[in-house]
Structure 1
Amino acid sequence: MINLKGQDLLRNPYLNKGTAFTKEERKMYELTGLLPNAVRTIEQQEQIIYQRTKDFEDKLEKRNYLMNLYDTNKTLFSYVIGKHITEFLPIIYTPTIGDAVINYSKIYDTPKDAVFLSIDHPEDIKKSIENSLKDLDEIKLIVVTDGEGVLGIGDWGVQGVDISIGKLAVYTVAAGINPKNALPIVIDSGTNNEALLNDPFYLGNKHKRVTGEKYYDFIDKFVKIVLELFPEVLLHWEDLGRGNASAILENYRSKICTFNDDIQGTGVMMVSAMSAIAEVTGIPIKDHKILVFGGGTAGIGVSDQILLEKMQSGLSEENAIKQFYLVDRFGLITQDMDNLTEGQKKYARAKGEFKKPLTNLAEIVEATKPTVLIGTSGVTGAFTEEAVRKMAELNEKPAIMPISNPTKLAEAKATDLIKWTDGRALVVTGSPSEPIEHNGVTYTIGQANNALLYPGLGLGIIVAKAKTVSDGMLSAAAHGIASLQDFSKTGAAILPSVEKVREASKLVAIAVVKQAIKEGLNRIEIVDVKKAVEDSIWEPIYK
């Protein structure tokens, strides 16, 4: 039974139906006279909303319009996005969300149900979270960021909150996680972005980022309070700075139910891509040589996840590591370099392995002879024609995956990769790419869109009430979408299209729950896994 009435009901985004309230409901909930006379179905509302989106040529303006709907009627928002998932997913999340983050303080209208925690006031953490719970049910999922490493665009401080909001919107649309069970949070620990510090309209703390002991003390207090309030919650970390992301994940991953999408989610997505590449090339994952261009959080995360897959295929860790080459802005990472992160040290090559330091990508490809080239650097155009042609010279079907987001930061354009390799490259991009015509063949470009995996991963974790998120569960997620991939046709995409995201999420969730049960990580007994997953999926239907 709904307790709210009148304007309070219309202003509640979880219960509002707008013009879909029936005549009887309008009398019952004191809405008479507060709405136009016509009663519309959700299908009619969707048609009107969709036609309205056609009026916006600017993608950010279109996103603002849709997020206003999110702010007023979450059921209708989810219904509309779900009906046009391929068209609207890039609008509500990557790549358009990058522009939303950059312009957040200028276009701010409402908090979109997010919680804002200031590092300067740790005493307010619990009260701030509790203040957000009035309209929500049990919190099963939290997405938290500190805005230091947003996509490929860097430190945007409190404006990174749009990432947490957008990520949860995708969880709902893709996997059917009830928005009343989810909470977006941003930790405002300051910013090192001088443009923001000098912007009189910036909405965050006007000081440099707090680091070190004070930062980690705040994180620890935050985690303890979250678990005190929601003992079985899944804590999803997003777009933290590269050092903090790894440190926080390593500190908590064996103790609580948590994962980092930038480190693990992107890695899981690439393991899924590697499985497809193994099938197409006939070379098993354990035998592929991997060159990762970008030695930051995403690059290490991708390497770690593929490394685990190689080890599960029977290789020792020592032998598996030998098949990885990492490149950062100084060139191929070697053990004699200064200021290497722990992740970089793990994959650094011996000082004397090559005759000279290697900084040119084409030379690195020539020297290392990889079968797979992955870009996580955010360096536009880093995959040069020379380097790509060298990959094609060394491999019959070179796998080349520039997965940096947004589009303007991609290491290469898909159309160039197809042209430079005469259609032989197995291409995966980070942002959507249009199909490419080359020599009479249509090449559909797979997108390494984490939305194909992390929503289903999260759903499976929630259904199982998992104690922790294990490597086995991540691997199960990576292989969960295998049945959606078809390589029988020349030019077929390496990864499923985004339009299959609901189907993918269900398959991934089922695989994750099964693996959690296998490892004894489930907190509740589940007899029928498929039914348990299906029963937990929220549908955008007016009650």
Structure 2
Amino acid sequence: MAERAYEILPGNHGTRVKVNVRGSAVLRIPRLNRGTAFTPEERRRLGLVGLLPAHSTPLEGQLHRTYQRFLAAGNPLQQFAYLRGLRDRNTVLFYRLVSEHLEEMMPIIYTPTIGDAILEFSMMFRQVNGVFLNINAPEVIDESLLAIGRRPEDVDIVIVTDSEGILGIGDQGVGGVEICLGKKSLYTAAAGVDPNRMVPVVLDVGTDNLRLLNDDLYLGLRQARVRGERYDAFIEEFVAGVQRVFPHAMIHWEDFGADNAHRILTTYRDKVCTFNDDVQGTAAVVGAAALAGVRAKGEKLSAQRVVIHGAGTAGIGIADLLVDLMVAEGLTPEQVRQRFWVTASRGLVTDAPGAKARDFQRPYGRAHGEVEHWTLDEPGHIGLADVVRNVHPTILIGTSAQPGSFTQEIVTDLASHTERPIIMPLSNPTSLVEATPAHLLEWTSGRALIATGSPFDPVRYEGVEYTIAQANNAFIFPGLGLGVSVCRASRVTDGMIGAAAQALASLVRISRPGQSILPALNDLRRVSATVAIAVAKAAEAEGVAGEPLTDPVQEVFDAMWQPVYPELIIED
């Protein structure tokens, strides 16, 4: 199999590779293939004479050629297809190209374009370098994981989805494997995690998407989504399988439904090394934006009043981390929770008789006696406008997927009670955003500190250009995964997530009006290294690091794979 066709030798950043195959097999292995960049001598020794055009093109020339091809693609989905094909042909060239144009290409290899690719997965199918596990065959989990061709010590991260909560498009069955492949690409492009040391996995538990079930080309199980005890047993089998086959790997959960995401994280976080990006990654990047925002105001996070509109996976994950960050400033958890108000589909979460709330929302339920005398727009229903009017929050966060729900009335009310409100409309894609940055700046007379979930162009208001921070999880998860792998952490603790948020916030220096409260996406390599160092140090401090740290900066740097053609060791 491909991984046994070559051996990555000890050396600087994995740049020495012993090649054990010859001829056309070399060109079929993405990690070995360098296409027209093979020198005449390498072609002779590897049996490639006659298999490539005569002229050798260095990596720089290949980068120019591939970038022009990328630009010539007709639309984002065609650009995605081109980059996917390049990734499957030439590992180094793909990651070098993406790394040099990361801000431009991230929306193509990940959100929002990857959502369109997932919708077309069965129609556009081509073999993917991932693992498909289905709930009707739990007995072959180990066999399936082994089929990827990695040895136990060769895998640092397993990225897995059950595809129920894909981006803003919901249940997408086995097509969700593309989200795991996209995350894998960002781990490498942003943090230098070796692409060979990650395994994307999709758990096929059926789908409730009737479009897919009635599509003759759909490639997943033709059955309704399995839930309940059988689902939980399958998850347990999967976790046990990963522990047996790849005992050092962190399990990265991606795009699970809200109830499953929280339950799985709660069940396994103290048992195995596991991380949920939608809960913990989103929380960390939003926590960093909040920290940077309050520091720009000269205030403490623990002095803020926080309203979160959308008490789902992301919203409650954000609340949990903000609680931890406030507790670190000296308050008790009970004191801190009194500074939070969260709304769900039925309005403000309370403990009123008959009020319905999910288990993970209950810690944030407000006492019925506190709100029973509020004047409401609609008797019996406490909506977002009611909460803002009565609470006077200083931070307003949207994870509701309710477009336009941060209305002019709500925002002007908010801004009338706080000089510099922090407002984060985080719902993706752009069509679901709670308010646009342009409107928020207009309604707050340019005083709002803003972070969004989707990318927005800079906004000019009253002669000032405002750079809009994008609260993209790519600021957190690549560095976190790198830090975990460097220190061989046995768990991902709340302290490590908090350290990641603090590290990201430390990179922000707001010295003039209009500056972003998060770094630029084109600075991700530095961001990821900073996050990785903080995560590894936190793991060691909390006693969950398997490897001692002697020089964290050097150890993190040495672990970052570089997209350069390696020295080839060719034995004649």
TM, length-normalised to structure 2? 0.93
Q: Determine which of 71, 82, 101 is the counterpart of 2:88.
A: 71
Amino acid at match of 2:239: V
Amino acid at match of 1:50: Y
Q: Does 1:250 align with 2:266?
A: yes
Deviation at 1:362, TM superposition (A): 2.3
Amino acid at match of 1:41: P
Q: Does 1:130 align with 2:153?
A: no
Deviation at 1:357, TM superposition (A): 3.8
Distance 2:420 2:74 in 1: 38
Q: Does 1:389 align with 2:412?
A: yes
Deviation at 1:137, TM superposition (A): 7.4
Q: Which residue of 2 aligns with 1:493?
A: 516
Amino-acid identity (%): 44
Amino acid at match of 1:149: G
Q: Deviations over 1:121-167 (max 9, x none)?
A: 10111111111116997011110000001122211111111111100
Distance 2:123 2:433 in 1: 27
Amino acid at match of 1:393: S
Number of residue pairs aligned between Structure 1 and Structure 2: 542
Q: Which residue of 1 aligns with 2:57?
A: 40
**Partners of 1:274 and 1:285 within 8 A in 2:** yes
Q: Does 1:60 align with 2:77?
A: yes
Q: Deviations over 1:410-445 (max 9, x none)?
A: 111111111221211111011111111111000000
Q: Determine which of 93, 101, 105 is the counterpart of 2:122.
A: 105
Spell out the pairing of 1:80-99 with structure 2 (5 A cutoff).
Answer: 80-99=97-116
**Partners of 2:145 and 2:245 within 8 A in 1:** no
- Greater shift, 329-338 or 412-421, is seen at 329-338
Q: Which residue of 2 aligns with 1:329?
A: 345
Q: Which residue of 1 aligns with 2:486?
A: 463
Distance 1:422 1:129 in 2: 55
The 1:74/1:506 distance shift into structure 2, 3 A limit, reads same
**Partners of 1:98 and 1:406 within 8 A in 2:** no
Distance 1:178 1:527 in 2: 22
Spell out the pairing of 1:432-511 with structure 2 (5 A cutoff).
Answer: 432-511=455-534
Moved over 3 A (4+): 134-137, 356-360
Secondary structure class of the residue paired with 1:352: helix
- Greater shift, 348-357 or 259-268, is seen at 348-357
Q: Determine which of 27, 31, 35 is the counterpart of 1:14.
A: 31
Q: Which residue of 1 aligns with 2:8?
A: none
TM, length-normalised to structure 1? 0.97
- Greater shift, 33-42 or 78-87, is seen at 33-42
The 1:471/1:8 distance shift into structure 2, 3 A limit, reads same
Q: Does 1:187 align with 2:210?
A: no
**Partners of 1:510 and 1:530 within 8 A in 2:** yes
Q: Deviations over 1:179-213 (max 9, x none)?
A: 11110000000111111111111111111111111
**Partners of 2:307 and 2:397 within 8 A in 1:** yes
Amino acid at match of 1:210: V
**Partners of 1:358 and 1:364 within 8 A in 2:** no
Secondary structure class of the residue paired with 1:54: helix
Q: Which residue of 2 aligns with 1:518?
A: 541
Amino acid at match of 1:344: Q
Aligned-residue Cα RMSD (Å) equals 1.4
The 1:104/1:89 distance shift into structure 2, 3 A limit, reads same
Distance 1:135 1:18 in 2: 27
Q: Determine which of 310, 318, 331 is the counterpart of 2:326.
A: 310
Distance 2:317 2:110 in 1: 21
If asked which structure has higher relative contact order (CA below 8 Å, sep 6+), I would say 2
Q: Deviations over 1:242-264 (max 9, x none)?
A: 11111111111111111101011
Secondary structure class of the residue paired with 1:186: strand
Amino acid at match of 2:426: I
Deviation at 1:360, TM superposition (A): 3.6
Deviation at 1:484, TM superposition (A): 2.3
Q: Which residue of 1 aligns with 2:446?
A: 423
**Partners of 1:441 and 1:491 within 8 A in 2:** yes
Amino acid at match of 2:33: N
Distance 1:520 1:440 in 2: 51
Q: Deviations over 1:72-118 (max 9, x none)?
A: 1111111000101110111111122122222211222222x010001
Distance 2:417 2:214 in 1: 50
Spell out the pairing of 1:313-392 with structure 2 (5 A cutoff).
Answer: 313-336=329-352, 337-354=354-371, 355=373, 356-392=379-415
Q: Determine which of 293, 308, 315 is the counterpart of 1:299.
A: 315
Q: Determine which of 403, 416, 435 is the counterpart of 2:426.
A: 403
- Structure 2 unaligned residues grouped into runs of 5+: 1-17, 374-378, 567-572
Secondary structure class of the residue paired with 2:66: helix
Spell out the pairing of 1:108-187 with structure 2 (5 A cutoff).
Answer: 108-111=125-128, 113-133=129-149, 138-187=154-203
Deviation at 1:358, TM superposition (A): 4.1
Deviation at 1:399, TM superposition (A): 0.8
Amino acid at match of 2:360: G
Q: Deviations over 1:266-287 (max 9, x none)?
A: 0111110111111112221111
Distance 1:378 1:133 in 2: 40
**Partners of 1:286 and 1:315 within 8 A in 2:** yes
Deviation at 1:175, TM superposition (A): 0.3
Distance 2:545 2:414 in 1: 44
**Partners of 1:126 and 1:225 within 8 A in 2:** yes
Amino acid at match of 1:91: I
- Structure 1 unaligned residues grouped into runs of 5+: none
Deviation at 1:57, TM superposition (A): 4.0
Amino acid at match of 2:366: R
**Partners of 1:145 and 1:164 within 8 A in 2:** yes
Distance 1:59 1:353 in 2: 50
